[in-house]
Structure 1
Amino acid sequence: MEIYKQLAFEPVTVKDIDDLTRIMKRAFDEDTRRHLGKEQGGPPGYDNGDFIRDWYINAKSDAYKVFLHGTLIGAVNIFCWKDNERFLGNIFIDPSYQDKGLGFLVWQFIENKYPNTRKWQTETPGFSTKNHHFYINKCGFEFAKIEKFEGEAHFTITLEKNIIISMQ
């Protein structure tokens, strides 16, 4: 277990799939309600365990579940690429714990855990303006590109954060 301020982080295991899927479903459904006016929605497998299984367990990612005072509140996964470039797969926090600065604490933990990162990249749905605010205004990312999916009304925004490493 790793501790950062009031949060604790542990690697995600197969035993966590059901609990994390319930939290992920609440988080993505809340985002969909807020921005699209629909009752539910998220990436494929977000509601049946496949997303956690595929991207947190089976993928070559560093995946952590997040606890606040012993309560599981979410998770984060990171993909490490060549040349100290990393991809933030996603951060999700249970809606009842959002808007309290906890997502930003998760991000600070990640940046501290990977201090040699030259460039961070992530993607988020184009409709999710709350995510845009979080990544750009809180975490320091910038817009890199917008990708519209053919035949679909939604689009994805790619964000990047370049780190300047001083030579001393």
Structure 2
Amino acid sequence: MTNHSVSLTVADRGDLPDFKKELQEAFAVAVVEELGDLPDGPIPSDEDLDKSINAPGAVALRILCDGKKVGGAVVTIDEETHHNTLDLFFLKVGEQGHGLGHKAWLAIEARYPQTVTWQTHTPYFEKRNIHFYVNKCGFKIIEFFHERHPDPNHPGADDPAGGEGFQFEKVM
């Protein structure tokens, strides 16, 4: 798939139900692999997704490969500080492992050239994500959250990982 063109477009309102469903399906794969089952309801919940997508500065992006929808991302852009966050990032089930995620990340970086830092997080059990962010995209792990050191921005009450996870940062 190395010759395929990856691009981004802002997700339109009419596409958000599919966007959310595809994101939840992609996230469910790792949760089921780790826990053997999904907790009650999709991960993340519709309510959490709506909060993320509608947050101040948030932009829901569609990842396209040769014009076909293959994933998405939600970024929060701070136009004053340029310290931005990658809140959600996914490839549709079946689209992983072809280099599309890395191309999509590079497209996100190119879309926001004023960025000073990017931050993101992932559950501790998501080894593929940890590899992707650190080894492919150049992020550094800056913090590990767990029961005795909870993440103040992502409380883990309904988190299948129990709030355990890594905070990553990339200085541009």
Q: Same fold (TM over 0.5)?
A: yes
> Runs of 4+ in structure 1 displaced over 6 angstroms?
none
When residues 153 and 21 of structure 1 are mapped into structure 2, their CA distance, relative to the original with a 3 A threshold, is closer
- Correspondence for 1:166: none
CA displacement, residues 49-85 of structure 1 (integer Å, 9 cap, x when unaligned): 4344322245431221122233322111111234221
- Mapping of residues 89-168 of structure 1, within 5 Å: 89-149=87-147, 153-163=162-172
* Residue 95 (structure 1) shift: 2.0
CA displacement, residues 112-159 of structure 1 (integer Å, 9 cap, x when unaligned): 111121111111111111100000000000111011146874502100
Unpaired stretches in structure 2, ≥5 consecutive residues? 149-156
- Correspondence for 2:23: 24
When residues 128 and 57 of structure 1 are mapped into structure 2, their CA distance, relative to the original with a 3 A threshold, is same
TM-score by length of 1: 0.81
- Separation of aligned partners in 2, 1:13 and 1:53: 14
Unpaired stretches in structure 1, ≥5 consecutive residues? 164-168
Cα RMSD after superposing both structures? 2.2
Contact conserved, 1:26 with 1:95, CA < 8 A, in 2? yes
**Do residues 50 (structure 1) and 76 (structure 2) align?**
no
- Correspondence for 2:60: 63
State the SS of the aligned residue for 2:81. helix
The percent identity for this pair of structures is: 24
- Mapping of residues 31-46 of structure 1, within 5 Å: 31-34=30-33, 36-40=34-38, 43-45=43-45
- Separation of aligned partners in 2, 1:105 and 1:115: 16
Contact conserved, 1:17 with 1:52, CA < 8 A, in 2? no
Contact conserved, 2:57 with 2:76, CA < 8 A, in 1? yes
State the SS of the aligned residue for 1:27. helix
When residues 146 and 86 of structure 1 are mapped into structure 2, their CA distance, relative to the original with a 3 A threshold, is same
- Separation of aligned partners in 2, 1:60 and 1:43: 23
Amino acid paired to 2:53: Y
Q: Relative to total residues, which structure has the larger helix share, 1 or 2?
A: 1
> Number of residue pairs matched?
155
When residues 44 and 29 of structure 1 are mapped into structure 2, their CA distance, relative to the original with a 3 A threshold, is closer
